Chain A
Amino acid sequence: MTLPVENNGLAAELLRQSEHDGAVTAMDAVLSAAHKSGLTNDQCFRLLARLWTLKRLMYYVYGAWAQGLNLNDYPPAVAYLFGKQIYDESTHEMQYSDEILRRGWARTQKKIFAHPYGQFAPATRVGAYIFCLRALANYPQHLRLAAFNLGPKVIELAWTERFAGSCPDPATRAVFASQLAETRSHILMGRFHVERFLQKDVDVELARRLCAETRRDYLFYLEEVARFVLGMKEEEAGDGTAFADID
């Protein structure tokens, strides 16, 4: 689905760059493997558990962002939609853990937290990405939403659309398909914030820089997930393949 964003302006620029980065990601290697020979139960568990790990960490990010919001900074409807989008991320987290429990890969939620596939370790790409998002708490809300919603969320939409369209496992495909409207809502919220609240030149430059950083760290996270699902060795220093033109 093509998103309605005008062809000029910062929102379109950030969206175009992120769509370019999202056209092919490391997750496509996972989808290819699924098409070729299907994912094993273990690979599917790895995939859902790593996606769950990221989604559950979003509570930590959004908590920090929400603390930085003051009353009347933004119109109430805008603040409400931000709350709704936090709720949506929570829904996606629940869907991943529901699926893991339903398939019997873990017996209880506590066991998913304890399982190596679902654990969070700071010195990882998921850690780097989450701390990158957490650091956006230092900036005004419209800057962090520009960076996040017109960066990683665009890439997330791109690869989840492909999984929703052709993942051979019907249950996994349904989970991804059900999340698409909410991910689009994030992107359109990013566009709204850029068009409505982002006016100063310094903010435009900051948005470009922050968006490039978050995109880069999200792409590294996806690469870590894909390697883990496919059983490839962890990347070593200098192996990274994500690009971001920051300066």
Chain B
Amino acid sequence: MPGLKIDHEKCTECRMCYVACREIDINAVVVSATSRHLLEIDDRCVYPKCTVCLMYCPAEGSIVDAVSGKSLVPPPPEVWTEHLRWPRVPAPR
């Protein structure tokens, strides 16, 4: 079972999480094969080792911890760390 899930009441389907997850080749965010094509997170998700989607999600509360239901957008301080932040190396100025 994936560690994260999408709250479809709050998700705007902007697909930023999909793009970010694809970019790092984890590919855990997928388009569901239903007529509404909602985004889902599958069991390739390695949260809490990866929190990239949380760093890019613009819609407050739309990605939650699958077990506790706690909102992870915006990312709480425990996941917004040097180790988990992404990109790991800040862009040059």
On chain B, the residues within 8 Å of A107 by CB distance are: 25
Q: How large is the interface on A (under 10, 10 to 19, 20 to 34, 35 or more residues)?
A: 10 to 19
Min CB distance B27 to A, Å, is 5
Number of B residues, CB within 8 Å of A: 12
Question: A174 is contacted by which of B25, B27, B33, B42 (Cβ under 8 Å)?
Answer: B33
- Within 8 Å of chain B (Cβ to Cβ): is A102? yes
On chain A, the residues within 8 Å of B25 by CB distance are: 107-110
Contact of B37 with A109 in the complex, beta carbons under 8 Å: no
Q: For chain B, residues 8 to 46, give those with C-beta under 8 angstroms from any C-beta of chain A.
A: 18, 22, 25, 27, 30-35, 37, 42
Count chain A CB atoms within 10 A of each CB in B30, B31, B35 and give the residue with the most.
Answer: B31
Question: B34 is contacted by which of A98, A101, A110, A178 (Cβ under 8 Å)?
Answer: A178
Interface class of chain A by DSSP: helix
- Within 8 Å of chain B (Cβ to Cβ): is A177? yes
Question: A178 is contacted by which of B22, B27, B35 (Cβ under 8 Å)?
Answer: B35
The CA of A180 and the CA of B34, in the complex, are separated in Å by 10
- Within 8 Å of chain B (Cβ to Cβ): is A175? yes
Question: B33 is contacted by which of A101, A108, A110, A178 (Cβ under 8 Å)?
Answer: A178
The CA of A177 and the CA of B34, in the complex, are separated in Å by 8
Q: Can you list 17 residue pairs at the A/B interface with Cβ under 8 Å? A: A94-B18, A94-B31, A95-B37, A98-B30, A98-B31, A102-B27, A102-B30, A108-B27, A171-B33, A174-B34, A175-B33, A177-B33, A177-B35, A178-B34, A178-B37, A180-B35, A181-B35
